[in-house]
Amino acid sequence: ASIEIQVNSAHATVKCAVLLLSLDSKKHSTVDFSLFLEASNTRGDVILVSFLTDDAASQVHGKIELGKSIQDAEGYLSEEILVLGKNVTVKTSPQLFVGSKNVKASHGASIQRLHPEKLFYMRSRGISLETARSLLIRAYIQKTMQFVGLSDEKLQNEIENIL
């Protein structure tokens, strides 16, 4: 998938979440995301979230570019990869291109598995491993959807069932 968003109007705000479900070991998943802030007093918040199962391969390239001569713009990019299987290959490259001085920008990436201590805690309370995994994955999906102001339980259930 390739996604490009250009913000050309002052005082505009963009909030975007992209979910990548890489479930097929025979296919290589790639997301190229670019956000261009080209006007003053703009803001862009982007989260790219990937869920990777057994033998999945994924590339996530996120970029925020803050144009020349703009003022008081803010751009934030987060790439979060959740490894749910074995033999996973991940390449990620969050990038910032800052052409002005009076702006704020940050980026980061994390690659993680379901937290073993959280799984252990839930298991010690009588919750099955499958249910514990499901609860943690659901929390991750909810966090992502809340980021952009969505609360669609049907969509959350569909994503969880796919995983």
For the segment 2-49, what is each residue's pLDDT rounded down to a tens digit? 999 999 999 999 999 888 877 666 667 888 999 999 999 999 999 888
For residue 35, give the amino acid letter. Answer: L
Q: Measure the CA–CA gap between 119 and 128, rounded to whole angstroms.
A: 9
The model's confidence at residue 103, banded by pLDDT at 50, 70 and 90, is very high
Q: Measure the CA–CA gap between 149 and 12, rounded to whole angstroms.
A: 17
Q: Look up the pTM and report it.
A: 0.82
pLDDT digits (tens, 9 = 90+) for 44-80: 999 888 888 888 888 889 999 999 989 999 999 999 8
pLDDT average, residue stretch 109-115: 90
Main-chain dihedrals φ then ψ at residue 148, nearest 5 degrees: -105, 10
Mean confidence (pLDDT) of the chain: 88
